[in-house]
C-alpha cells in the first residue's frame, strides 16, 4: 500500500503538523494503519520513528483545546498497541522521549502542560502493557531499558526537567496497575541504582529524593495519622489516589543508609539520605517519622 515508504513518512509528518484539524485526524488514522502494516512486514526502523516523531510532536503542538489534547495523547499512546513486537514498542518510546527532550527548549509556557500530559499518557500506556502481561520480567526489561537509560539514569539523554516530571508521576501511574511488593521493589531499584551511581546534578538528586522517596514517606505518614485527616498538599498525588505502594520500608531504609555511607557521597547528600533512611526505618516500626509539635507535647 505504501510503495515509497520514505516519501510516505515525509507526507505523514506534513499532514500531522497541518493547521487543519480534519487533515491531522485523517493522517493519524492512516498512521495507525501504516505502522501496523510495517510492523507485520518487520520493516520498522529507528529512522522511521525519528521521522514520524516529528509529525507526532507537531500534531500535539497544533492542538489547542484541552479535552482534545487528552484525546489526542491517548490516541497516539495507542500506537503502542499497533506493534507486533514489544521491542518495536520500546524503540518507539525511546525515540519519542528523545524527540520530546530535543524540542523541549522550544516549548513555550503555554504548551508545557500538554506535552507533560502527553509524556505521562505514553508512560501510563507502557505500564499498562507490562501489567497486561503480569509484569513478566522479560517484558519489563524490554520497556524499562529506554526508560532507565534515558529518563531515570543521571547519564540519560533526557533533560533533567523531564526526568523530574517523570519521577513526579512514577508511583501514581504504576500503582494504578496494582503491582505487588516484588514488582514495586524492582521499580524502586532503578532509582536506588541512580543514587548509588551518584552522578545526578543537585536539581535531579533533589527531585529523586522528593518525588520518589518523600512521596512514599508522606503517604505513610497520612496512613499512620489516620485517613480521617485531610491530606496536606505536600503529600502529593500518590496519597490522593489512596494507593499505598507495597514496599518493605525497612529494606528501603537499609538501602538508603548504605548509599549514604558511600565515600563518594558528599556531606550534604549524606545527611539527606541518612534522614530519609531514618524516616523509612521509623515507618517500618509503625512510628510517625514526622511527629507533630502536639504529638511531642503529649509525650512529655
One DSSP character per residue, 198-241 reads: T---HHHHHHIIIIIIIHHHHHHHHHHH-TTSPPPGGG-HHHHT
Extract the C-alpha cell encoding 300.
512529655
Average pLDDT along the chain, 300 residues, taken 10 residues at a time? 62 81 89 95 94 91 92 96 98 97 93 96 98 98 97 96 97 96 98 98 98 94 70 47 79 98 98 98 91 56
Percent helix, strand and coil across the chain, each to the nearest 5? 75, 0, 25
pLDDT for 244: 76
Distance CA(184)–CA(246), nearest Å, equals 6
Q: How many CA atoms lie within 13 A of 200 on its CB side?
A: 28
Task: Work out the end-to-end distance of the chain between its first and last CA atoms, rounded to an integer number of angstroms.
Answer: 79
Distance CA(97)–CA(122), nearest Å, equals 9
pLDDT for 273: 99
pLDDT for 154: 97
CA 191 to chain centre: 12
pLDDT for 225: 82
Residue 151 DSSP class = I
Residue 150 DSSP class = I
pLDDT for 151: 98
pTM of the model: 0.89
Q: Considering only CA atoms, give the Rg of the chain.
A: 21
pLDDT for 13: 79
pLDDT for 87: 98
Distance CA(5)–CA(35), nearest Å, equals 11
Q: Do 15 and 24 form a contact (C-beta atoms < 8 A)?
A: yes
Amino acid at each position: 500500500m505504501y510503495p515509497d515508504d520514505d516519501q510516505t513518512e515525509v507526507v505523514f509528518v506534513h499532514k500531522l503538523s497541518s493547521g487543519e484539524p480534519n487533515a491531522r485526524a485523517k493522517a493519524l488514522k492512516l498512521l495507525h494503519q501504516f505502522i501496523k502494516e510495517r510492523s507485520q512486514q518487520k520493516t520498522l526502523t529507528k529512522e522511521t520513528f525519528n521521522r514520524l516523531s516529528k509529525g507526532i510532536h507537531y500534531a500535539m503542538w497544533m492542538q489547542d483545546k484541552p479535552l482534545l489534547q487528552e484525546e489526542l495523547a491517548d490516541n497516539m499512546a495507542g500506537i503502542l498497541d499497533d506493534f507486533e513486537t514489544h521491542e518495536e514498542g520500546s524503540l518507539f518510546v525511546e525515540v519519542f522521549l528523545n524527540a520530546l527532550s530535543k524540542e523541549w527548549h522550544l516549548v513555550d509556557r503555554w504548551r508545557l502542560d500538554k506535552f507533560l500530559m502527553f509524556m505521562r499518557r505514553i508512560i501510563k500506556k507502557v505500564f499498562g502493557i507490562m501489567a497486561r502481561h503480569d509484569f513478566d520480567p522479560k517484558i519489563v526489561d524490554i520497556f524499562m531499558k529506554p526508560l532507565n537509560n534515558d529518563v531515570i539514569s543521571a547519564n540519560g539523554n533526557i533533560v533533567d526537567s523531564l526526568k523530574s516530571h517523570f519521577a513526579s508521576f512514577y508511583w501514581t501511574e504504576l500503582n494504578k496497575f496494582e503491582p505487588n511488593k516484588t514488582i514495586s521493589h524492582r521499580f524502586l531499584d532503578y532509582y536506588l541504582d541512580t543514587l548509588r551511581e551518584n552522578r545526578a546534578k543537585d536539581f535531579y538528586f533533589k527531585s529523586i529524593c522528593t518525588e520518589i522517596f518523600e512521596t512514599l514517606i508522606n503517604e505513610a505518614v497520612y496512613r499512620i495519622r489516620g485517613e480521617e485527616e485531610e491530606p496536606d498538599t505536600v503529600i502529593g498525588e500518590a496519597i490522593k489516589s489512596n494507593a499505598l505502594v507495597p514496599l518493605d520500608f525497612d529494606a528501603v531504609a537499609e538501602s538508603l543508609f548504605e548509599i549514604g555511607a558511600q565515600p563518594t557521597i558528599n556531606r550534604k547528600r549524606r545527611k539527606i539520605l541518612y534522614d530519609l533512611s531514618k524516616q523509612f526505618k521509623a515507618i517500618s516500626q509503625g512510628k510517625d517519622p514526622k511527629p507533630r509539635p502536639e504529638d511531642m507535647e503529649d509525650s512529655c
